[in-house]
Amino acid sequence: MLLSVEGLRVSYGNIKALHGLNFEIDEGEIVCIIGANGAGKSTTLKAISRMVPAEKGSKMTFQGKDLLEYAADKVVSQLGISHVPEGRRLFDNLTVTENLQLACFARKDKDQIKEDIKRVFSIFPRLEERHIQKAGTLSGGEQQMLAVGRAYMSGRKVMLLDEPSMGLAPLLMMSMFDALKEINKEGTTILLVEQNARLALQFAQRGYVLENGNLVLEGPSGRLLEDPEVKKAYLGG
């Protein structure tokens, strides 16, 4: 088991966001969490990447190590878990290449860094065309490519993706998910949260349904796509 989450609880002040989640992810899997806005999807990813604190009694292990003992920066540099947040959070005044290089500040393998940048450019040729362009001047789709490329550079045992399809035109959306499949084939485990439930379930092998901070359904994606409750709540019928 690569990642195991048991009894995960998170609160923001008096507001309880997650009510004791239990789930597991195996190495090499693509897993999605779907749910309405405000269900707790982003909070789940932030808890795994240690950007928000988990409450006492929560357990998270990664490759047998206690995730709760790691600070957010060490989750990336020591464990290889990268997080592509909603809204991309790029350095707008830096170029594409500089954003990618900055993701490697904790890495010492300079030759491999150069190879990894080449690989990012082969996955996203559009970024290579714009490698000296400032990130803030890129289109929304190009910024999302750069955010994923930056995560690829910083830690790629697991990639956590928060709404990767948000704001993308349909063609770019499909191109983004094709690129993620390529990254997964190279050995990166992917956990993504999406409001676009149909797209997420078509992309992932397994899925979880999150409602009001509780996991209410889980199973193979094909089964969830056919589930009457999922169809009614998330697939428009």
70-75, Cβ contacts within 8 angstroms, sequence gap of 24 or more: 73/106, 75/48, 75/49, 75/50, 75/155
Domain ranges (residues) in the chain:
3-234
DSSP classification of residue 69 = G
The pLDDT confidence band at residue 107, using thresholds 50, 70 and 90, is: confident
Q: What is the C-alpha end-to-end distance of the chain, expressed in Å?
A: 35
pLDDT tens, residue by residue, 207-220: 999 999 999 999 99
Residue among 175, 209, 177, 174 nearest 190 (CA): 177
pLDDT tens, residue by residue, 45-90: 999 999 999 999 999 999 999 999 999 999 999 999 999 998 878 9
CATH code: domain 3-234 is 3.40.50.300
The predicted model gives 85-109 an average pLDDT of: 89
Between the CA of residue 77 and those of 9, 10, 82, 162, what are the distances in Å?
25, 24, 9, 20
DSSP classification of residue 67 = G
pLDDT tens, residue by residue, 168-187: 888 888 999 999 999 999 99
Give the Cα-Cα-Cα angle 213, 9, 231 (nearest 5 degrees). Answer: 20
Alpha-helix runs per DSSP H in 12-169: 41-48, 72-77, 96-102, 110-123, 125-129, 140-154
The torsion angle over the Cα atoms of residues 134, 136, 139 and 144, rounded to 10 degrees, is 100
Buried b (16+ CB within 10 A) or exposed e, 116-153: bbebbbebbebbeebeeebbeebeebbbbbbbbbbbbb
Q: Does residue 166 surpass a pLDDT of 90?
A: no
Q: How far is 144 from 229, CA to CA, in rounded Å?
A: 31
**Is there a contact between 4 and 61 (Cβ–Cβ < 8 Å)?**
yes
